[in-house]
Amino acid sequence: MNQLNYAWRLLATGFCFVTFSVGALVLGAVVFPALYLTPAHTRARRARKIICHTFGMFLQLMQLVGVLKLEITGGHTLKAHPGALVLANHPTLIDVVALISLMPNANCVVKQALWDNFFMGGVVRAANYISNDEPELLIQACAEGMQQGNPLMIFPEGTRSVQGKPLKFRRGTAYIAMHGKMPVIPVLIKCTPPTLTKGAKWYKIPPEKAFLQIRVLDPIFIYQWAKPGDPPAIAARQVTKRLEHYFTEALSTHGSTTSGDQATHHQVA
């Protein structure tokens, strides 16, 4: 029975990956081109809303076929603070899909390679996400987006977390947080057993269905972590260390995101 369950989840995982790729291609080649007939100032917002709903449907599919169980706590906080900087640890590939599905107008920083990706290029361009190819313009673009009321999602590690190793945040996140002067919403993500981790192949699935837990915490304000008058480099170093400490402590305290009736369950029976 266990072998049959494993075989089914392996097949279902492959099916989900194909569905995601084909869906992204259809959005980029068929759906989003029609948005260019709409006013430019609303184009990206509409594209992001479509991506949000599409990602939500994809998560429902993953749960329906038995690949994933998902639980979200405090998701309403993300919608209650437009323009916030959303920071999360990044244990698994599916994290970005789960978070964007909770924010209809989320902005995010993406690798330049995705702009030219056969499957994702059209999606990234339509949503007008921020490319990481010009670091000197990145911070300003992020700050302007938040000040316009668009939440910005960033994984401070810059890549997926490595299980068993301490969190190591990149300093660029601190510069964005200080420049944007918006509240920071921490998000804790846990996946048990681990799956789709850094360097793992899609077919290396766990022995049992993965349980993805997402806990959205109350906003914090990082201005208190930098001394007035400190040079930007020193302030960024201090804020980065405090963020690392905050997330390390929070992940240790909230080892599980389960919290009774405050949790929002997205599992499909």
Chain centroid offset of residue 148 CA: 20
pLDDT value at position 20?
97
Q: Is the separation of the CB atoms in 150 and 82 below 8 Å?
A: yes
Buried (b) or exposed (e) across 22-51, using 16+ Cβ within 10 A? ebbbebbeebbeebeeeeeeebbbbbbebb
Mean pLDDT of 141-170: 91
Residue pLDDT, tens place only, 191-205: 999 999 998 999 999
Confidence of residue 16 (pLDDT cuts 50, 70, 90): very high
SS3 content of the chain, % helix, strand, coil (to 5): 50, 15, 35
Query: How far, CA to CA in Å, does 91 sit from each of 59, 112, 153, 161, 214?
Result: 17, 22, 15, 5, 11
pLDDT value at position 230?
87
Which one, of 141, 149, 148, lies nearest residue 79 by Cα?
A: 149
Buried (b) or exposed (e) across 163-191, using 16+ Cβ within 10 A? eeeebebeebbbbbbbbbebbbbbbbbbb
pLDDT of residue 226 exceeding 90:
no
DSSP state of 164: T
pLDDT value at position 21?
96
Tell me which long-range contacts 8-17 makes (C-beta under 8 A, separation of at least 24). 8/66, 9/66, 9/67, 9/205, 9/209, 10/203, 10/205, 12/65, 12/66, 12/67, 13/67, 13/202, 13/203, 13/205, 14/202, 14/203, 15/65, 16/58, 16/61, 16/62, 16/65, 16/67, 17/202
pLDDT of residue 151 exceeding 90:
yes
pLDDT value at position 267?
41
